[in-house]
Structure 1
Amino acid sequence: MMEQAPNLRHVKVMRYVTPLREGGSMPAIAEADDDFLYVLKFRGAGQGTNALIAELIGGELARKLGLKVPELVFAELDEAFGRTEADEEIQDLLKFSEGLNLALHYLSGAITFDPAVDAISSAEASAIVWLDALLMNMDRTAKNTNMLKWHKELWLIDHGASLYFHHNWASWKDQALSPFTLIKDHVLLKYAGEVREFDHKAKQLLNVEFLKSLVALIPDSWLGDAFFESKNAFRDAYFEFLVTRMNNSDKFIKTIEDARAKLV
């Protein structure tokens, strides 16, 4: 049976509800034409479309690994959307975000996950730490866990700081082999005692067919026009980066184990 490829719905943003003034990306709660609320990530924010690509790849990789992630959708923002917005900063953000953005289903009533209060198994912590080491996600620390507790379950959000090599494509091949020492600051590191065991499962789930179908989702309008000769060449580089990191996962697994040994 052919494996189902990841697929994202398209929605149109109808109403700007309220800003979420967290970090530098200024996401917002918005209502779409399907009557659902979403956390809208803007292409016109500080890190531009690179953050949306990281969010897309990180979120769908997490979902494939069996972790809970709010539904991701492509969100179209009309050119006239921000004209009535009174806040000039938000008005500029909306203006520069016309076109295709990314949004996550809004988990109403969710609270920030706190590992000091909320229990987490070694298996689940290991899966999350492995994923964040693969993605070189520097933004799941005690200061900002980017995890929510919703209906007594753990949900992952905000992978926009992942894949930071794509802010400087000149070094992407070297970055693919990085041991990622920043994993030492991961909020779940001390609970992640089964990372090496999870590695085998992850490589079976994240096969070549899935990874190719995932990078194929990246819209042309999110990809640059420099460094590579075509949009598909950019997608190929993301694919090669992920494959290279998985094929050399022992590098970051050793970093995880060495860092964890200092904590436990």
Structure 2
Amino acid sequence: MKFITKNSSSRKPLANAFIDDWQWNHDDRSDAVRILNNGHIAYFHIDWSSGTAAVRGNKPINIYPNRKYYWEVLLKDRVFGTSMMIGLTTSQAKLYSDSYINLIGENKFGWGLSHKGLLWHNNHWSEYAKPFHENRSTLIGCLYDGHNGTLTYYKDGECLGIAFTGLNSIDDYLYPTISSTAAQSQFILTIAKREFLNLQDRCRHVLRQTYSFEHQHLHRWQQILPKRIFEYVILHEESAEFTRQHQVRKKFKAKVMKRHS
């Protein structure tokens, strides 16, 4: 896995792309993280901090191979302490430590950027960007390119260059992940987008942008639309695809372990 620090264009990626619907996962977090605002706000160490906590997104960003995903996270003004991080992890990365550490990237299951401008993976670090200003809100964008296997960061709209490569060789799901040692720190998921899959996907995007498919309106749409179209529009098939792929991977790993036992 390489660290790359070359700067490139500052144009925000995937400006006209599918609006993804993932949130911070209430069921895949440290107890020191509270999830608010329908999964868009992660509030860390509400009273005081006694270690490092993390939370993953509720959907991996590599369900569809060779696609680009982009998301932005606003670190609210309490930016300070040992480590505040944003990056990717597999489900094998731990979400809490009773020490103050750089949790995302402490082992081979994570790739992260800390607020001190350092990249971390497999417990190795590399200088990448200037440290974030303390006690000042900072907007971090993340661009995952599934075709090239890269992760690129943006800071307050400026591209910082490719940070990690070789991610398309990881035979596991990759989840957006954030971590913090700072008491009462907040991370707000402001944007989550992905490339369109095909023309049908573009049409679905237009429908979702034109009409409301919020929870309180779903019953009405269910009465109007045929079942398959309804499930497609509300992204049910993405959840089903994730479940199907997860089961396939689980069976494959079980076979491999059985062969070596």
TM normalised by structure 2 equals: 0.29
Bigger helix fraction? 1
Higher relative contact order (CA 8 A, sep 6+): 2
Structure with greater strand share of residues: 2
TM-score, structure 1 as length reference: 0.29
